[in-house]
Amino acid sequence: MTDAMVQAEQVGKRFGRLEVLRGIDLTVRTGEVLCLIGPSGSGKSTFLRCVNHLEKVDSGRLSVAGELVGYRESGGKLYELRDREVCRKRAEIGMVFQRFNLFPHMTAVDNVMTGPLRVRHESPTTARERAGGLLARVGLADKADAYPNQLSGGQQQRVAIARALAMSPKLMLFDEPTSALDPELVGDVLDVMRGLADDGMTMIVVTHEMGFAREVADTVVFMDSGLVVESGPPDAVLTHPSHERTRAFLSKVL
């Protein structure tokens, strides 16, 4: 067994006639922080959604922790997984969305408790206790009983991170976590993510925050029109890009 957390080989995905992913090869090692950058429509978010099977892969192989995503291989044949099995695997992968997607009818602490309570069937007391601890970890211990619409965007996103962490995931996916935030709120969210990276969490982060990528990422991957154009350490990709398209993109965002 290798220490690859995510392994993508020639992963392809199409929506109707639109080819969004055209053969992605990519490896994320355990404990690695990988930042996916690239222009909008380049397939970054789609790839992320494939990793926890919110989208079905059309071609190629994609595996998480050594197991295929969405399928079971047996005797050289692929079998589609049942809803319940897909859910079990998703429970081990945390996801944070651009638009937070907190459950608006629940308080912050209830949001964080939902996974442990409804998926892991923990007792309400332990779930609540752990949820309180996680909210403290993202700096929101005093907001446990606030409803999402009483929180700022940055606070909501931090609750969303705590909600994902409550499932003790082995992999965290971030889909443009700061793109919907006012500039002065971005820092708090990035601080929490930085803390996670320091704790050794394996993370794939789709982001436009080049500063964060440079500072926190182990690997930066630049994608364009469904392909990986360039990947490597942040310094190599962001400071000394070897491809013309990477240079053109960076000149616009930096």
Which residues are at the interface with other proteins (CB under 8 A)? 52, 54, 83-84, 87-95, 97, 99, 101-107, 114-115, 118-119, 147-150, 160, 163-164, 167
The least distance separating other proteins from the CB of residue 142, rounded to whole angstroms, comes to 18
Q: Which is nearer to other proteins, 37 or 96 (CB)?
A: 96
Q: Which is nearer to other proteins, 72 or 118 (CB)?
A: 118
Token reading at 195: 């803390």
Residues 6+ apart with CB under 8 A from 172: 93, 94, 95, 96, 164, 165, 196, 201, 202, 203, 204
The least distance separating other proteins from the CB of residue 247, rounded to whole angstroms, comes to 34
The least distance separating other proteins from the CB of residue 171, rounded to whole angstroms, comes to 12
The least distance separating other proteins from the CB of residue 9, rounded to whole angstroms, comes to 24
Residues 106, 130, 150, 138, CA torsion sign? negative
The least distance separating other proteins from the CB of residue 188, rounded to whole angstroms, comes to 17
Q: CA-to-CA distance for 167 and 93, rounded, in angstroms?
A: 8
Token reading at 154: 């940055």
Helical (H) or strand (E) element with 35: strand 33-37
> Can you give the C-alpha Rg of the chain in angstroms?
18
Q: Which is nearer to other proteins, 52 or 246 (CB)?
A: 52
3-state class of 166 per DSSP?
Answer: coil
Residues 6+ apart with CB under 8 A from 108: 102, 135, 140, 143, 144, 145, 146, 147, 148, 151, 159, 162
Q: C-alpha angle with apex 237: 233 to 241, nearest 5 degrees?
A: 145
Q: Which is nearer to other proteins, 102 or 220 (CB)?
A: 102
Q: Which is nearer to other proteins, 137 or 147 (CB)?
A: 147
The least distance separating other proteins from the CB of residue 134, rounded to whole angstroms, comes to 13
Helical (H) or strand (E) element with 172: strand 171-175
Q: Which is nearer to other proteins, 156 or 246 (CB)?
A: 156
Q: Which is nearer to other proteins, 79 or 103 (CB)?
A: 103
The least distance separating other proteins from the CB of residue 151, rounded to whole angstroms, comes to 10
CA-to-CA separations, 128 to 7, 109, 111, 145, 169, in angstroms, rounded: 35, 7, 10, 12, 18
